[in-house]
Structures are given as C-alpha cells and as structure tokens.
Structure 1
Amino acid sequence: MTFQGGGPLDTSTISGGGGGGGMGRIAVGGGAGLIFTLIALFFGINPGSITGGTTTSDSMSSQGSSEIDQHIQSCTIEKANTDDVCRIVATVNSVNKVWEEQLPGYTKPQTKIFSGSVNTGCGPATSDTGPFYCPADQTIYIDPSFFTMLRRMGGSNGALAQEYVIAHEYGHHVENLTGVLSKGNRMGAQGPKSGSVRIELQADCLAGVWAYHSDKGPDAMLEPLTQDQIADVVQTAKAIGDDTIQGANSNPEGWTHGSAQQRVRWFGIGYKSGDPRQCDTFATNDL
C-alpha cells in the first residue's frame, strides 16, 4: 500500500481521452525516440510532425474517453493502491495538495488520462510518447500503459515509482508557472548543460520535494515512505537516464534529460531537503 485512509478522490481536474491508435506514431527506438519526443512536447513542438504511422495501447486500447471517465469517477483512495488509473488520480490529489502549500499562487493543471492517441495543445500524441506536460494547454497527459513500457525499460513496478513519474510531470507545470520552461527553451534542447537537461533535472528535484512532503502532516495522503519505495524511484530514475537509454555509445552532446546518476542525484536533493529553492538547476553548472 501507498495511500492511507479511504473515501472518494477529487476528480475535478482529471478527465479521460483518446481511444485507440492513429494520430501518428512516435518511434521509440530503444528509448531515444521517447526522449526526443518528450522534449518536442515540452517546448511546444507538434510531435505528430516528427514521424508518421499508427500505434496501440497495451492496457486500455479498447477504452474510449467516456469509459475512462467512468473509471476515473469510480476511483477511491482504497482503489488507488491496486488500480493504475486510480493511482494516477490519487497522486494528482497528493501533488496538488503539496504544491498548493509550497508554492504561493499555485494553480492546478488539468490531467488527461488517455488511451492510444490524443489531441493536445502541443499537437497529436500517442501512447508511445510517454507521459508529458503540454504548456500550451497546461495539461498533463498520460496513458497508463506507459508503466508497462517503463518496466520493460528497467524501471520499477512499485507504486511510488509510478507516482514519481506523475510528480515529475507536475514539476514541469511548476516550472511553467515560475517561468523556467521558457527560460530553458532559450538555452537549447540538447547537450549536457542544455536548457532541456536543466528542466528535466529540476522536475526530478521537484518530484523529490513532493515525496518529502507527501507523507507528512495529519492530512498526508501517503503512508510513511520506506527505503524500499525510495529504491524503486531510484531504479526508475536510472532506467530513464539518457546514458541508460542510449547505451554504450551515449554521447552527452545529444542528451535531453540528463544521465542516470544526475536524475537520481536531483531527485535526492529534493527528497532530502523538501525545499523547492534547492532545485535551481539553472544556478549551477554542477549538474
């Protein structure tokens, strides 16, 4: 279990979408295509212009938006401990709660749980794109089938590891509110010290800040986190580092998200401090 207590969840900012393939396949290519496409989305580029084709979703390809909406509305805190969709909903509740407390003026983004393909303010996307935040419509998009892909990439199947992925995307929303996304955009999309890498590492750090606060206080939604759960996050952060995904021939000049070691380090900075001010990846070259 991860979530404690019981009862309904707030679904006011969460909706369903998609329902099958067909919007333009995003080639994954051992993970490198996924990383490239995520950056395209973060910087407002239409990912459908990168490649063409079709795709399918592993776990929800038969569900249309109305069915996903019904699934979302049925979610409770209890279900969040066993159901991927409800875990997304509960994590959204927890992350919003933490950032409302930590960031003055915080406004909630929308979250769309989709299947197969979806239209966004940043262009059409598919399940192969992976979870992403679109600043144009201030919405996080996620197909739960990504968690299956993540396991295949070497990530953990643990609940907190999935929640870390969602909290990372919410970190991008925080960056959008604070102006970091546009700042990073001006600093380039590739390279070991590019704006893109700084954005991604900061989002990892902000996910760590959420984890620090998520189990604290009388109204905390999460049970006290364990070292095994944090180890699941570390395993996942390592699996999605640029050097891990690109393999032995990884060239830092092509990095967009940072190395496995960097991703783990910055999550740890956020988790150990609980202070978003410690997450300023733009104030240092020691990434």
Structure 2
Amino acid sequence: GGGTTGSGGQQVAQQKACDTPEELQACRVMTSTEQTWTKLFADQGQRYPAPVLNFYEGGVQSGCGQASSAAGPFYCPADRGIYLDTGFFRELATRFGAAGDFAQNYVIAHEVGHHIQNVSGTMEQVRARQSRMSQAEGNALSVRVELQADCYAGVWAAQNRDRLDPGDIEEGLRAAEAIGDDTLQKQAQGTIVPESFTHGTSAQRMKWLKRGLDSGNPAACDTFSGAI
C-alpha cells in the first residue's frame, strides 16, 4: 500500500478509540512499532516522530486527498497518517487466503515502513527521481520503495521475536506472497505485465520481508542499489 501523493484537503478521519477487536489489534501493533522504531532511531542519535493511525470505513479524506476502502491501507506523507479500514483484514483472509494476526500486523508494519521512508527523506528523493522518468521506470522505482517497506516490516518483527507465535513468520510470508504484483495480476487478468508492477513480485516481497526478519537491522534494507 503506497498511498497517494499530493497535498491539500482537510483531515477528516479521526483517530478513533480502538474499540473493535480488529482496531485493538491494530493499535497494539502501532504501539509496538513505535517502541521498536523509537529505539532504532535512538541508536542513530535521532528522535522518532510517530505516525498517526486513522481508522475509517468506506471512504476518507486524508492530507493526500480522497481515498476509498478499495485502495486498501495506505500511508499519506502529507499528514504522516496511516489510514486503515479494518474490513481489509477480512479481505486479506477471504480473498487473499492470508489469515491470522501476523498477516494483519505485517500490513500495518509495512505502512509504518513507508513512514520511516518519509521521515528519513527517502520518499522525497524517490519522487524527485520519478518526475524525470518514464512511467515504466517510475514503476520500477516504486517496486524498490515497496520492497524496502516490506523489509522494514521484517525488521520490526525481528525486534519483537519474543512475541511471535509459531507459524507467524509463515503467515507473514504467505501474506507477502498473496499480494505480489504477479500473483494479483494473474488472478485479475490471467496475464502478467512486469512493467506495470508497482509493489514487486511475490518472490521479491517474501525475500525482502525475510531479509528484514533475518537481520533485524534497517541497514540491511537497501533496496535501491543493485538487483532486487
């Protein structure tokens, strides 16, 4: 879930109380990512500015404009908000066959990964480069952005290994596999168009999530140099 760019518009989504089981689960994960990244940033002598989790249903007005649930969870750099319709978790289980707490946690940790990219300046650099590129080149760069967010999600999980249940890692990898560009395109249209990929193949997404899991180190998440 990359999220759209652009600014303007008021933020109407409210950070509601975490009052449904799905929301409670999401809030717990957000708290955990905040603790983890606060520590990792402090190791680098930096302060971690936490993102804001916004729950919504159906549609929402974010700092990046209007969005509908159909877009899935997304991160908006303009207001540093993570936008989540918890209905997506049901879709993850039913449509994508990726059920379980950890599959949901991975999705949230991935959006937090985009926040890390935003506050560290990576997103801005990518946008500047994309403005000078063709659509296909820009898409290829988007893939690298998404894979880095997958890797950052793995770093978070590695730092909280004591809280993982047996089978959680497999659950996360299954989710990464289910939402790879090639897998989704094959389901939707029966063919695969690599130059239209914006998130990476199933194999790539699993590989980078695993790299984060194995290393527990954000420095291992450089998806921008070399092959992916």
Q: TM-score range by the shorter chain?
A: 0.7 to 0.9
Is this contact kept in 1: 2:7–2:63, CA < 8 A?
no
Inter-partner Cα distance in structure 2 for 1:246 and 1:186: 28
Q: State the Cα deviation string for residues 41-69 of structure 1 (Å, max 9, x = none).
A: 343389xxxxxxxxxxxxxxxxxx78x83
Find out whether 1:91 has 2:38 as its counterpart.
Answer: no
Find out whether 1:229 has 2:177 as its counterpart.
Answer: no
Of the three residues 67, 86, 92, the one matched with 1:150 is 92
Q: TM-score, normalised by structure 2?
A: 0.86
Partner of 1:69: 16
Partner of 2:159: 213
Is this contact kept in 1: 2:93–2:100, CA < 8 A?
no
Deviation at 1:192, TM superposition (A): 9.1
Inter-partner Cα distance in structure 2 for 1:196 and 1:45: 19
Inter-partner Cα distance in structure 2 for 1:179 and 1:131: 22
Inter-partner Cα distance in structure 1 for 2:179 and 2:118: 22
Computed over aligned residues only, the root mean square deviation of the Cα atoms, in angstroms, reads: 2.2
Of the three residues 146, 160, 181, the one matched with 2:123 is 181
Of the three residues 190, 200, 214, the one matched with 1:272 is 214
Q: State the Cα deviation string for residues 68-115 of structure 1 (Å, max 9, x = none).
A: 834x2x58xxxxxxx211000000000010000012221101110111
- Answer 1 or 2: which has greater helix percent: 2
Q: TM-score, normalised by structure 1?
A: 0.69
Structure 1 residues 193 and 128, CA gap change in structure 2 (3 angstroms)? closer
In percent, how many aligned pairs have the same letter?
38
Stretches of structure 1 that go unaligned for 5 or more consecutive residues are 1-37, 47-64, 76-82, 217-222
Is this contact kept in 1: 2:150–2:205, CA < 8 A?
yes
Partner of 1:239: 178
Inter-partner Cα distance in structure 1 for 2:191 and 2:7: 27
Is this contact kept in 2: 1:190–1:196, CA < 8 A?
no
Find out whether 1:124 has 2:66 as its counterpart.
Answer: yes
- Counterpart secondary structure, 2:53: strand
Pairs within 5 Å for 1:130-141: 130-141=72-83
Structure 1 residues 191 and 145, CA gap change in structure 2 (3 angstroms)? farther
Inter-partner Cα distance in structure 1 for 2:192 and 2:6: 26
Deviation at 1:151, TM superposition (A): 2.2
Is this contact kept in 1: 2:155–2:216, CA < 8 A?
yes
How many matched pairs? 213
Q: State the Cα deviation string for residues 19-44 of structure 1 (Å, max 9, x = none).
A: xxxxxxxxxxxxxxxxxxx54x3433
Stretches of structure 2 that go unaligned for 5 or more consecutive residues are none
